[in-house]
Amino acid sequence: MTAPVGFNVESVLKAIQQVVGLSSKENPINLHEPDFSGTQAWAYVRDCLDTGWVSTAGSWVSRFEQELCAFTGAKHAVAVSNGTVALRLALHLAGVRQGDEVLLPPLSFVATANAVAHLGAIPHFVDVEESAFGLCPFALSSRLEAIAERREDFLFNKETGRRIAAVLPVHVFGNPAKVDLLRSVADAWGLPVVEDAAEALASWRAGTHCGLFGLVGTLSFNGNKLITTGGGGALITDDAEIAKCARHLSTTAKQPHPWEFYHDAVGWNDRLPNLNAALGVAQLEDLDRRLQSKRLLAKCYEDALSGLKGVELTKEPTECRSNHWLMSLRFTADDPLIAQAQREELLKSAHSTGILLRPIWSPLHRLPMYETCSAGSLVVAENQALRLLNLPSSPQIMDGWAA
Ligand SMILES: *Cc1c(COP(=O)(O)O)cnc(C)c1O
């Protein structure tokens, strides 16, 4: 292997340090850290404690849901305890049942495939597109052409005999996937689209918020996401029936009654506690400021890294507004193994100075529990998985610049 001319790990590290400021092993800079400074979080949580409304009902839950609707433009939002259960519930509501297959990309956090598996369904991996690493509409279309067969009202995989039940795109690192095209392909085959928008609060494609292109979308408010409720998630949808069922099934499928306990289905206990929702409202009030800081941070990275050989900052997709949740660097060497070696070199030197960079996830089809799943050609995902790395992306990095 010959290294391409010009890549220099020291200059890339220096450029990153220029943006993130001082760090050390004792005072590391993480990828994305929670921040409640300057918010009303204390006051709102205190209200829960003072009134005793701490659990899975209360006014902060409704307020959080209303504000999520106002911000995203969704007609309905249902807050739940995390992004994984949001996805599991959304897939169930889209009709995914035990033994079904769900089409999804292999470049995602493991929770995307886990939510499918939690229902007893089976992931079926389809390749991503190179620019923003989302599920590729062309790959989806050609995979369906190759393996799908309509029998009466349902679609089946000719190779496995299993029903194909849904398409599950992911908006990776907050970059909108090509959901408009994916929706057209899915519609043509009669498949529902469920969007994993866990990383994509405040990301938009052509004026529509991520998560609202298909039947239902899901958000996460885990500690490392753009805003956090400690742990939490939500379903967003324009479909009143889906929202109603989501609410019902996530509250043990209990029929409303002042004293009777009567449940009409196998439900879950998935609702978001009021305590967490109070944090969510406080974080939403800070969202615009956070987005502005992240946009500035992306610009700082762009300036610092432009002109350096062998790396490029990945771009906001055209016609889209990305929340810049995790900014990412691509190693551009032709040979993916050289790109991977250079990435390893940067990871090593950055970690030794307390900058906790991270490579993109191991592709899901390489994990032991998913390696026998059906899959189309995954050449783009395999290649990109070797050359992508995430940069520290907390909005509060910009506070250091103001100081
Ligand atoms: C964070 C995340 C999830 C899961 O959300 P949790 O709240 O951590 O359960 C699902 N999918 C993607 C793509 C995520 O990044």
Render 34-102 in DSSP notation, one character per residue.
---TTSSHHHHHHHHHHHT--SS-SHHHHHHHHHHHHHH--SEEEEES-HHHHHHHHHHHTT--TT-EE
- Cβ of residue 198 lying under 6 Å from some atom of ligand 1: yes
The atom of ligand 1 lying closest to the CA of 115 is 10
Beta bridge partners of 254: 263
Domains of the chain: 9-35+287-402 (3.90.1150.10), 41-284 (3.40.640.10)
Total residues belonging to the chain:
403
**Rounded distance between C-alpha atoms, residue 36 and residue 18, angstroms:** 25
Q: What's the pLDDT score for residue 57?
A: 84
- Cβ of residue 374 lying under 6 Å from some atom of ligand 1: no
Mean pLDDT confidence for 279-301: 97
Chain mean position to CA 212? 14
The atom of ligand 1 lying closest to the CA of 199 is 15
Residue nearest to atom 10 of ligand 1 (CA): 111
* DSSP assignments along 130-173, one per residue: TTT-PBPHHHHHHHHHHHEEEETTEEEETTT-PEEEEE--B-GG
The atom of ligand 1 lying closest to the CA of 233 is 7
Tell me the pLDDT tens digit for each residue of 355-394. Answer: 999 999 999 999 999 999 999 999 999 999 999 999 999 9
- Cβ of residue 325 lying under 6 Å from some atom of ligand 1: no
* Banded pLDDT at 401 (limits 50, 70, 90): confident
Angle of the 59-72 helix axis to the 274-284 helix axis, nearest 10: 40
Mean pLDDT confidence for 304-310: 94
- Cβ of residue 177 lying under 6 Å from some atom of ligand 1: no
Nearest to 88 by CA among 108, 117, 110, 61: 117
Q: What's the pLDDT score for residue 56?
A: 83
Q: What's the pLDDT score for residue 109?
A: 98
Could you tell me the CA-to-CA distances from 230 to 52, 219, 357 in Å, in that order? 19, 14, 22
- Cβ of residue 108 lying under 6 Å from some atom of ligand 1: yes
Tell me the pLDDT tens digit for each residue of 100-110. Answer: 999 999 999 99
Mean pLDDT confidence for 125-150: 97
What is the reported pTM?
A: 0.97
Q: Which of 84, 87, 393 for mutating ligand 1's site (highest number of atoms within 8 Å of CB)?
A: 84
* Banded pLDDT at 6 (limits 50, 70, 90): confident
Q: Which of 109, 221, 225, 279 for mutating ligand 1's site (highest number of atoms within 8 Å of CB)?
A: 109
Tell me the pLDDT tens digit for each residue of 37-77. Answer: 999 999 999 999 999 999 988 899 999 999 999 999 999 99
Contact 272, 229 (CB under 8 A): yes
Beta bridge partners of 321: 204
Mean pLDDT confidence for 213-225: 97
**Rounded distance between C-alpha atoms, residue 396 and residue 220, angstroms:** 20
The β-bridge relationship of strands 194-196 and 216-220 is parallel
Residue 370 DSSP label: T
Q: What's the 62 CA to ligand 1 centre distance in angstroms?
A: 22
- Cβ of residue 237 lying under 6 Å from some atom of ligand 1: no
Q: What's the 109 CA to ligand 1 centre distance in angstroms?
A: 7
The β-bridge relationship of strands 76-80 and 233-237 is antiparallel
Chain mean position to CA 299? 22
Q: What's the 392 CA to ligand 1 centre distance in angstroms?
A: 18
**Rounded distance between C-alpha atoms, residue 286 and residue 45, angstroms:** 16
Contact 179, 145 (CB under 8 A): no
Could you tell me the CA-to-CA distances from 205 to 144, 211, 343 in Å, in that order? 25, 10, 30
**Rounded distance between C-alpha atoms, residue 251 and residue 269, angstroms:** 5
Residue 368 DSSP label: T
Show Cβ contacts of residue 62 under 8 Å, excluding neighbours closer than 6 positions: none
Residue-averaged pLDDT of the chain: 96
**Rounded distance between C-alpha atoms, residue 322 and residue 316, angstroms:** 6
- Cβ of residue 132 lying under 6 Å from some atom of ligand 1: no
